[in-house]
Amino acid sequence: MTDTIPGSLSVSNDVIADIAGYAALSCYGVVGMAEQQQGVESVRLLAGQRLRKGVLVSSTEEGLSIDLHIVIESGVNMKSVCENLASSVSFTLAEIAQIDPAALKIAIHIDALKSRG
């Protein structure tokens, strides 16, 4: 049984980015997070410990805005992957960081396609 402890919870944007990045990687069709390199028209697939570079978290008047830059697997249904991804990130942030899903705005940017093989 859990006990309620009075107080408030403050979670940094970097922690939110990490949670969102790991939630994204667990989704079917997502190969990894992407980083847009300045001055170059290509993207780089990020290693697991650098996920937050592919996630931009900012505060708005309505709540939090999260931009996910992802690389997806070739041949998957992009719309289904994006819907599943948004749902997974929203659920994970609600469970772990106690962030109200109604206060989240999640934007997904597909920066590249990659075959897993």
Write down the pLDDT at residue 9.
73
Burial class (CB in 10 A: 0-12, 13-18, 19+), 109: middle
User: Mean of the pLDDT values across residues 47-57?
Assistant: 75
Confidence of residue 116 (pLDDT cuts 50, 70, 90): low
Mean pLDDT of the chain: 85
Q: Is the pTM of this model over 0.75?
A: yes
17 in the Ramachandran plot: left (φ > 0), alpha (ψ -120 to 50) or beta? Answer: alpha
Looking at residue 50, what is its pLDDT?
Answer: 65
Confidence of residue 39 (pLDDT cuts 50, 70, 90): low
Domains and CATH numbers, the chain: 13-114 (3.30.70.1350)
114 DSSP 8-state letter: E
